[in-house]
Structure 1
Amino acid sequence: MSTGFDLRLAPTAVAVWAATLIGLLAGWLVAAVAAVFALLVVPLVWPASRNRAWARATLVVLLLAGVAAAGMAVRGHHAEHHPVRQAAHHGERLTARVTLTSAPIPLRGPSFGAQRAQDRALVRTELETAVVVGRHVRAGGSVVLLVPTDRWRDLIAGQSVTVRGKAAPPRSGELTIAALQVFGAPTDVAAPPGWQRTAADLREGLRRTAAAELSPAAAGLLPGLVIGDTRALPPEVAQDFETAGLTHLMAVSGANLAIVCGTVLLVLHLIGAGPVLSVLGAGAALVGFVVLAGPEPSVLRAAAMGAVTLLALVLGRRRSALPVLSASVIGLLLLLPELATSAGFALSVAATAGLVVLAPAWAAALRDRGVPVGVAEAIAVPLAAHVVTAPLVAALSGTVSLVAVPANLLAGPVVAPATVLGVLATVVAPLSGWLAGAFCWLAAPELEWLALVADRAAAVPGGSFEWLPGTAGGLLLAALVVVGLFVLRGKRFRVLAAVALLVVVLVLVPVRSAVSGWPVPGWSMVACDVGQGDGLVLATGRPEEAVVVDTGPDLERSAACLDRLGVRRIPLAVLTHLHADHVSGLTGLLGRFSVGAVAVGPLREPAWAMREVVRDARAHRVPVVPMQAGQRASWPGLVLDVLAPDPALARTQTAEDANDASIVLLATTPAGRVLLTGDIELPAQGELVASGLDLRADVLKVPHHGSRYTTPRFLNAVRPGTALISVGDGNSYGHPSPFVVDVLTRAGAKVLRTDQEGDIAIMPGPNGPRHVSRGDPLRAVDR
């Protein structure tokens, strides 16, 4: 029975992908063996290929897989034996002349200590020449640079520069010859090609116009929709999009290309243009968009996928879509083999396959059942894309979203108009600022709607659930999806599935937190598992209200902990000191909760952190207030006494003393006295002991994640029954110190670690504080 699809090229695409992966992950020698094997088998199959279809298909698979493997062997051998790779293995310093193939991309992710991830940027380059240990080398190859963001931010792709830095081997699974750590500014900077400069000016014009005409959220969203530039997007909005499963909207993808080219085709059709002119116009729009966004691998991938999507959904050539998709995969992997290990490439291919295979059939089935044209497509497209990408997302993130499909359904209708208006604003900005502003103004309602959908979807309790991560989890979910799609072909099973879905949405999700045992009633304090950082929550005695002490190293984990606890209002957020692992999550709280004030100590260093705290607080109209020794704050169920720092001592300290300038709080709670110590080290601990203050506490938040810089004298002065250590799993700092843990244990303290227990709640008990941990996300453990 015919499936209605031409699958002949699909096995070849899979074989080329597999051959490319072999070359990347197993090395050039294994790839060479695979190529020889494939080419040796070709003569055995050749005689049968004249009159047998299976033999012809096998011959194509062997030839193209052999070509891919041979290409990987040649490229891998070149990279492995490159003089710069050899220097990288020895950590040599070198001077190189390189041409940028991408603009500097500030690093994302958790920040630690006084350093921010975004202070460093990644730049992809092509090597022209290098001087290694006095020897001049003229050999090409891909080189990744890690550079200071502030000194490189104005460079664009196409510029040639001279750099000096320390070489290091690249990550496995890449054809990059070396990574180069650069700490200075580039020298001998050449002008970029004219078309690259024009594209950069257009991008800057869009950012400038959006910032002038739109709210901060909308101004950050518009460049993201048009060219994948999310630098101006507020962090809390970015986090909402990730939680809601809408991040793909802010990356250059096949959907962007299909929207732009489809709009051009529609306009040409309305003015009566013929097929040839329409194809030329759509092709010109495709090339122009690639130039605008930058001809980087992700953009070229998007161009190929966009062409396939356009073919299937705009031109209606459904049967030819799969061969074109397969051919695109083959061509892209032969041209850019490192895409084989790219999660974005895999997601893009899967989503495009869903759009060309499942979406048309599902849309037709919905129309046959009376769903209006347009509405059927609006339902089928995001549903198909989500179904086929869910296994990959689960493998990568270890979660399955329940809100992604409805969020995409609500967002879908406004994505195309917002994107088209953004492209128009970009194109006309150099000619007329007023007209560009008008296009941005017209896009504003759509952008605000997207931000609202992301915000509400991210706030849904139980909107996602944890899944087995890695390949095993992805394959398990893929198997369930395939079985589910097969079973749903029967009408009776569709009814049962609809009932099951209603049960999940209306019953299981709302009661999920109740049956999990978390949050536990009557908690006084919670040490949130925020990784390598601090994030502490103190109940005030008022419903849905808590004081926060430190916010962890990233935007999401502290906010997620508060969500799990049912906190809605934060009358005071205390930042014990301004290191990134204590303050980087503040923006996520300000954007999601009602915050009364942010408290900081007398030492306002590092300066960059203080600037960001003030900027983010002002953006949400939250005052920043000083906090120092001698102050007291109280609520019905909580009293906070500030024990340190002494402002007189803080005036003599520098950024290097930030740990010892930490705010130290003694919290009086229904569970007992809790001492919160920030990251104070030996000097500050000695001053507290010498001060004569009563440091005794039932619960101690151990200083500086349990580092070795903690004195037994201080621990003996506190004499805690319970010691909490907020620390990241597998951290590279050696925290907590076995010595400190041993001292506490010998003194009779129960040592609890967030890397082992997860979130840890402290509550009143008949014989002093007791604790409940959330190490298992579906089960709270009382001890």
Structure 2
Amino acid sequence: MTGSRSDLRVVPAALAAWATAAALTRAPVPVSLVVAVVAVAVLAWGWRRPSLAFPAAVLVVVAATCGWRVAAVESSPVTQLAERGATVRAEVHVREDGRVFAGAGRAGTVVPVTVRVVESRGRTWRVRVRATAFVEGSERFVTGTRLTVRAGLQPSDDSDEAAVLRVHDWLPVGAGPWWWRWSEVVRDGVRDGVDHRDDQAAALVPALVAGDESGLSDRTREEFATTGLTHLLAVSGANLTIVLGIVLLGLRAVGASRRVVLVAGVLTVVAFVVVARPEPSVQRAAVMGSVALAGLLVGSRGAGLRALAWSVVALVVLDPWLATRPGFVLSVSATAGIIAPTPVLTRRLHWLPLPVATAVAVPIAAHLACLPVATSLSGEISMVAVFANIVVAPAVAPATVAGLAAGLVDLVAPALAPVPGTVAWAAASVIVRVARLGASAPGAAITWPWPWWTLIPVTPMVGWGVWWLLRRPALAVGMTLGLLVAIVRTPTPGWPPRDVVVVACDVGQGDGFVVPTAPGEAIVIDVGQEPGPIHRCLTELEIDRIALLLFTHGDADHVDGWRGAVRGREVAVLADGPSGGPSVPAARRIRLLAGQHVKVGDVGLEVLWPRADTGRVTPEARNDASVVVRATVRGHRILFTGDLGEEAQRGLGRLNADLSADVLKVAHHGSADRWEGLLERVGPSVALVGVGADNPHGHPTSAVLDDLARQRVAVWRTDTSGTIAVLDRDGRLVVSAR
């Protein structure tokens, strides 16, 4: 009874601390002061009541920490210099390893840093504030390294950071302490242990062991995201649990004392954090992995929940900004799911052998616990996550342990490191293969059409349904097999349709259009912002080869989903305009300007805009530099207008005497920035609008819809109709949507 009451006291305190930290990190300093004063008053009034005093004491500490750190940032000279947009010279210490990013037409490295010295206009300040630095190009920055930089400062959106540094030039002036240098040697050893294998399985091993995902391709990252295996690419509690479990079980097997086991466990956690870097994900892993292991060893669900609650309190007190980090929320949710529902589900699966029942129950519980948060991040629900995690589970521990062994062996006998490295590679190959197969399934993920929070009441109902179903073996097996069939071969009656002229894919707030050119082949014009929707659309249309991939302009909502378009597909020709676009693997690349003609199979493309003399395009001018093409398909004309605004549309009209088309892709998702004369010049019978539901821009605007209504044009929108296909029926255009 005492333990139960302790659980009830600690859990509410942890939830209160978590909610308070999440609110105060975005609030002004006076709000933190008010919360602290109120909490002190409650503590003074109810100090004899532990159920009241303990949460109040925790809130005092959280509020004081938030207020102090926000005040320190707001009063920092770095913050004031950033508000003026000053260019400074500074000394910074790398707080976390730099991460390479790639976007529309750009590449660079983002580096979390601590600013220690800043100099501007002859004045020098010694400070200690956090910031984020952006460096052009793909550079390697290791935790602990000291740099001198010349950078332009900009205000940061994060209340815990003083500025964003746009680095113009930089120079290393010193390495970090010996423990960071030692950890880099171990990380290099892990990489060296598998470098005799040049594939994505070899690149996965450093990610499993130390969170080093630098060698992973964008395609692999997307496949892991789709199959719910992303947690393997970052250091998670599971990694530490595996390593710590091997160490402790080995010591127990040789009869080590409890004290030796405890010291070894602490040293293992410390070494793990140093090797994997003290990033937020690693800090969470160190706590959550230890908690999960403690819960399993103790065998008490209550003890595990109490330990989890204590860890939440400790983490949000030490760093309140973790409270709003998606990784923290996912870590806590997954750990709670593993500790609480897993034993219940395991008992429900009594008709399976215990190891199998546990292997099935753990991913089901974790997936359900994380479902609302994961959906809020991706907008999708992975249908293969549970299956994928069950299949890869036996391979994760061998890949992690053998990979770490390769790194340690490399320290003393480099020639022998490939032996455990090969074992790690073989296990990692299984994981990569499962992710690839799972992501290629047509029903791998489904889009959740409602706000993510609607899953909060839905998830418990789903959990109850699973609990009810697992008691009936025949029905559970039958439903599982049926779900697998639906994932592998998603039922799509009447889809893909026959005689397609053009398809507007539902890619959310963005554009993604498909013009079939031959069986299994198509022209793809823009790809949306996320890879999942365009991949599903092309899969459902049975497109396995892209004859021409055209980016009308370089904005994210038109190009950033390219990895989904090329997933498992060959791209023959990549085309873009003056604003450029991402570098996509293709046989050849061309630049399109007005006056050009392109023939793909029986489909002809006329390039109508931008002008042939268009030079370099700034990011602000991308919309008006959109490539405008008119496709002729089965005798029907389709005009794709990108994101042209009013002035560019007028220019298009002046440059081209004939703009007529049967189908019009409405410019800029239906923005009010339009030339009313364009619609009259085109004279379409069908208008397609690529637009996301409840988008913040108000697209399509009522003004555009009124224009189309006056011209008696049939309007089809992806936000209300989903994916839309315009078909040819005996020379007449008809529309089918799903």
TM bin (shorter chain): 0.7 to 0.9
2:525 alignment partner in structure 1: 549
C-alpha distance in 1 between matches for 2:487 and 2:564: 24
Distance 1:580 1:72, change over 3 A: closer
8 Å CA contact retained: 1:94, 1:165? yes
Residues 444, 154 of structure 1: alpha-carbon distance in 2 compared, 3 angstrom cutoff: closer
Cα pair distance change 1:507/1:252, threshold 3 Å: closer
Residue 640 (str. 1) matches residue 603 (str. 2): yes
SS at match of 1:157: coil
Name the structure 1 match of 2:184: 200
Shift of residue 536 of structure 1? 1.8
Displacement of 1:631 in angstroms is: 5.0
User: Residue 109 of structure 2 aligns with which residue?
Assistant: 121
- 1:415 matched to 2:402? The reply is no
Native 8 Å contact 1:221 1:230 kept in 2: yes
2:52 to 55, 58, 61: 58
What TM-score comes out, normalization by structure 1 length? 0.80
Partners in 2 of 1:346 and 1:220 — Cα distance?
27
Counterpart residue number, 1:378: 359
Q: 1:365 to 1:755 in 2, by over 3 A?
A: closer
1:122, CA displacement in angstroms? 2.9
Does the CA contact (< 8 Å) of 2:649 and 2:674 recur in 1?
no
Q: 1: distance between equivalents of 2:110 and 2:85?
A: 19
Amino acid at match of 1:643: E
1:416 deviation in Å? Answer: 0.8
Q: For the residues of structure 2 that align with 1:409 and 1:721, how far apart are their CA atoms?
A: 51
Aligned to 2:15: 14
What whole-Å deviation, never above 9, does each CA across 1:342-391 have from its counterpart, x for those lacking one?
1211211122222233334544564xx35334323322222222232223
Q: Does 1:505 align with 2:483?
A: yes
Offset of residue 303 of structure 1: 0.5
How many angstroms does 1:235 deviate by? Answer: 1.8
Secondary structure at the aligned position of 1:539 is classed as strand
Partner of 2:504: 527
2:152 is equivalent to residue 171 of structure 1? no
Distance 1:715 1:383 in 2: 52
Equivalent pair of 1:245/1:404 in contact (CA under 8 Å): yes
Does the residue aligned with 1:32 lie in a helix, a strand or coil? helix
What amino acid maps onto 2:173 in structure 1? V
1:141 and 2:129 aligned: yes
Aligned-partner SS, 2:340: helix
Tell me by how many angstroms 1:414 deviates: 0.7
- Matched residues in 1 for 2:572 and 2:316: separation? 53
| More strand, by proportion | 2
- Contact residue 760 and residue 772 of structure 1 kept, 8 A: yes
Deviates more, 1:81-90 or 1:17-26: 81-90
1:191-219 CA distance string (max 9 Å, x none)? 3223223323433453455454142x213
Alignment of 1:185-224 (within 5 A): 185-187=169-171, 189-207=173-191, 210-215=194-199, 217-224=200-207
Q: Using the TM superposition, give the Cα deviation of residue 409 of structure 1 relative to its aligned residue in structure 2, in angstroms.
A: 0.8
Match of 2:168 in 1: 184
The runs of 5 or more residues in structure 2 that have no matched partner are: none
Length-normalised TM-score, structure 2: 0.84
Map residues 296-335 of structure 1 onto 2, 5 A cutoff. Answer: 296-314=279-297, 316=299, 320-335=303-318
Q: How many aligned residue pairs are there?
A: 728
The 5 A counterparts of 1:435-450 are 435-450=416-431
- In the alignment, what sits opposite 1:620? none
1:588 counterpart residue number: 564
Cα offsets for 1:257-285 (capped at 9, x unmatched): 01111122233334443333333333222
**Which of 277, 286, 303 is matched with 2:269 structurally?**
286
SS at structure 2 position matched to 1:641: strand
Please give the alpha-carbon distance, in whole angstroms, between the structure 2 residues aligned to 1:167 and 1:728.
34
Q: Percent identity?
A: 33
Describe the superposition over 1:152-173 as per-residue Cα deviations: whole angstroms up to 9, x where unpaired: x22222123334444444336x
Deviations 1:405-455 (A, max 9, x none): 122111111111111122122333354444333333222332222122223
Partner residue of 2:516 out of 539, 544, 548: 539
Structure 1: where are the runs of 5+ without partners? 50-54, 618-622, 774-779
Partner of 1:575: 550
Alpha-carbon offset, residue 32 of structure 1: 2.0
Map of 2:29 onto structure 1: 28
Amino acid at match of 2:186: L
1:687 shift after superposition? 9.1
**SS of equivalent to 1:572:** strand
RMSD: 4.3
Is the alpha carbon distance of 1:364 and 1:149 closer, same or farther for their aligned partners in structure 2, counting shifts above 3 Å?
farther
Matched, 1:338 2:321: yes
| Structure 1 residue 296 displacement after superposition | 1.8
Deviations 1:694-749 (A, max 9, x none): 75431234577778998888776644333445467799999989998888777665
Residues 99/350 of structure 1: CA separation in 2 closer, same or farther (3 Å cut): same
Please state if 1:96 is matched with 2:90. Answer: yes
Matched to 2:288, the amino acid is M
Letter in 1 for 2:13: T
Q: Tell me how far apart the structure 1 counterparts of residues 315 and 631 of structure 2 sit (CA, whole Å).
A: 60
Q: Deviations over 1:236-257 (max 9, x none)?
A: 2211211111111111111110
Q: Counterpart in 2 of 1:777?
A: none
Q: Which range moved further: 286-295 or 318-327?
A: 318-327
CA shift in 2, pair 1:42/1:454, >3 Å: same
Equivalent residue for 1:598, pick from 570, 573, 576? 573
CA contact under 8 A between 1:462 and 1:510: conserved in structure 2? yes
2:638 maps to: 674
Q: Whole-Å Cα distance in 1 between the matches of residues 464 and 432 of structure 2? A: 35
Deviation at 1:641, TM superposition (A): 1.9
- CA distance in structure 2 between the partners assigned to 1:550 and 1:166 by the alignment: 34
1:446–1:511 distance in 2 versus 1, CA, 3 Å: closer
Residues 637-716 of structure 1 aligned to structure 2 (within 5 Å):
639-644=602-607, 655-656=616-617, 662=627, 664=629, 666-669=631-634, 672-676=636-640, 696-701=660-665
Q: Bigger CA drift: 223-232 or 159-168?
A: 159-168
Letter in 2 for 1:473: T
Letter of the 1:762 partner, please give it: V
Preserved contact between residue 351 and residue 473 of structure 2 (Cα < 8 Å): no
Output the CA distance in 2 between the equivalents of 1:218 and 1:264.
Answer: 25
Deviation at 1:189, TM superposition (A): 3.4
- Give the partner amino acid of 1:191: A
Q: 1:158 aligns with which of 131, 136, 144?
A: 144
403 and 319 in structure 1: CA distance in 2 versus 1, 3 angstrom threshold: same
1:558 pairs, out of 534, 538, 547, with 534
Partner of 1:351: 334
Code of the residue aligned with 2:532 in structure 1: it is E
| Cα 1:20–1:155 shift into 2, 3 Å | same
